[in-house]
């Protein structure tokens, strides 16, 4: 069985810990690899490698660092198909979604290529009698990224390209559910000319995370994941004197006005709700339909489009499927539980995805697109992030009521409005 390794000081190193996690292909339910959870000592080795590499990397001029980013950009483009297949195989999202994710990450790398200009300081002459003022931008040191399963390429590439381009070193702790892409990115960075130790990958769980959050050599931490874990990350990292950004859960809403272009709105809602099986930080969870007539028309249109949605494995399908499976059997059961909850609490289940099955992939972690109508703010499916292909329609009397409801919800991240 193939074992996904750590990447420490330029070398692939298989963990020696006793905790081993299976990696599954979500479309088939079959184990395809395994990953060993790193020990405290192995995590400390990655931090040490980044710490030791920092002085030399920080002394590189921004121009030299940008050249590495330019080469990395070219390698990403050359290897796009191979990387997208890794994502689709371990995460389950369809191939076009995987390519889209990589493209978004590539945009950050392109931005990082401009670091010689972006990292310019400022100078103000004669700010006081005989006093000039100037500012410098200097790297911090070892930075850490702790990233989620749903975007194994894009979210890490939100973090490390800018960190590396500005002269920091980096330790990435990817999700143990789909860790192979992180290792592939590390190898491409090495091929691009990044010195050993500047970028490291630690495969692990909470034991590794706690080391990364508390080690005094780590200067900054970025995290994306669930809200309870985000709170833990922020509290622990900040208590140990580290800069920290911790991004948690979401419940994205949109308002559908009666005068909206219903063709355009329905198409947009379908993609936002069911793309990547709803496993997106910006997935649309709730539609606030203004007026019963608006809600009735929307649900009728959605039912027809859902019936035509191609759901199945993400790879090697012609025509390509539009929605793949969920990440794991555990998460599938969690999403099914939310659907049960919505039905038992009185929502109208217009489309039920609980018994969905794909021929030839009966063991895959599929949940069909699900549509609820007449959802109310007291229901669990409205209050909590589901992270699956479940869309709730809430009926409101007017625009003001819709805005008030959105503002009362404890979560962001985004809102939209459809009108003429």
What positions carry a catalytic annotation?
281
- φ and ψ at 210, to 5 degrees? -65, -35
Number of alpha carbons in the 13 Å side-chain half-sphere of residue 79: 19
Q: Is the CB of residue 342 less than 8 Å from the CB of residue 375?
A: yes
First to last CA, the chain: 56
* Residues 207-224: b if buried by 16+ CB within 10 A, e if exposed: ebbebbbebebbbbbbbb
Q: Which helix or strand (DSSP H or E) is residue 290 part of?
A: strand 284-290
Give the CA distances from residue 223 to residues 144, 147, 174, 310, in Å, rounded to whole numbers and listed in that order.
8, 6, 10, 33
- Segment (H or E) for 350: strand 348-351
Helices (H), 138-178: 154-165
CB 198 within 8 A of CB 50: yes
Helix axes 80-91, 180-191, angle to 10 degrees: 160
């Amino acid at each position: 069985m193939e074992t996904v390794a750590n990447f420490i000081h330029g070398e692939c190193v298989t963990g020696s810990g006793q905790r081993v996690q299976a990696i599954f292909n979500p479309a088939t339910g079959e184990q395809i690899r395994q990953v060993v959870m790193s020990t405290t000592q192995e995590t400390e080795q990655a931090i040490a490698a980044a710490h030791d590499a920092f002085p030399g990397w920080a002394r590189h001029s921004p121009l030299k660092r940008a050249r590495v980013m330019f080469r990395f950009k070219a390698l990403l483009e050359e290897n796009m198909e191979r990387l997208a297949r890794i994502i689709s195989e371990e995460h389950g999202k369809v191939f076009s979604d995987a390519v889209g994710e990589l493209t978004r990450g590539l945009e950050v790398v392109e931005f990082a290529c401009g670091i010689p200009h972006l990292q310019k300081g400022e100078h103000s002459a004669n700010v006081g009698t005989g006093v000039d003022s100037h500012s410098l931008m200097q790297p911090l040191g070892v930075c850490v990224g702790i990233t989620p399963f749903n975007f194994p390429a894009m979210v890490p590439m939100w973090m490390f390209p800018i960190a590396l381009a500005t002269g920091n070193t980096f330790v990435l702790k990817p999700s143990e559910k789909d860790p192979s892409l992180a290792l592939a990115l590390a190898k491409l960075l090495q091929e691009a000319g990044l010195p050993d130790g500047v970028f490291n990958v630690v495969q692990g769980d909470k034991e590794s995370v706690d080391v990364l959050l508390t080690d005094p050599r780590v200067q900054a931490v970025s995290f994306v994941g669930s809200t309870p874990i985000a709170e833990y990350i922020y509290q622990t990292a900040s208590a140990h004197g580290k800069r920290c950004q911790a991004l948690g859960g979401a419940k994205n809403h949109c308002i559908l006005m009666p005068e909206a272009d219903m063709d355009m709105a329905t198409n947009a809602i379908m993609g936002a709700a069911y793309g990547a099986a709803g496993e997106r930080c910006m997935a649309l969870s709730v539609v606030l339909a203004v007026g019963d007539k608006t809600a009735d028309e929307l649900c009728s249109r959605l039912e027809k489009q859902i019936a035509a949605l191609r759901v199945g494995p993400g790879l090697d399908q012609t025509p390509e499927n539009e929605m793949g499976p969920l990440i794991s059997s555990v998460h599938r059961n969690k999403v099914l539980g939310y659907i049960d909850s919505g039905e038992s609490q009185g929502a109208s289940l217009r489309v039920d995805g609980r018994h969905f099955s794909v021929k030839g992939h009966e063991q895959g972690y599929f949940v069909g697109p699900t549509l609820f109508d007449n959802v109310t703010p007291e229901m669990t499916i409205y209050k909590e992030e589901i992270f699956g292909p479940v869309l709730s329609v809430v009926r409101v009397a007017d625009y003001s009521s819709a805005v008030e409801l959105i503002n009362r919800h404890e979560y962001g991240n985004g809102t939209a409005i459809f009108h003429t």
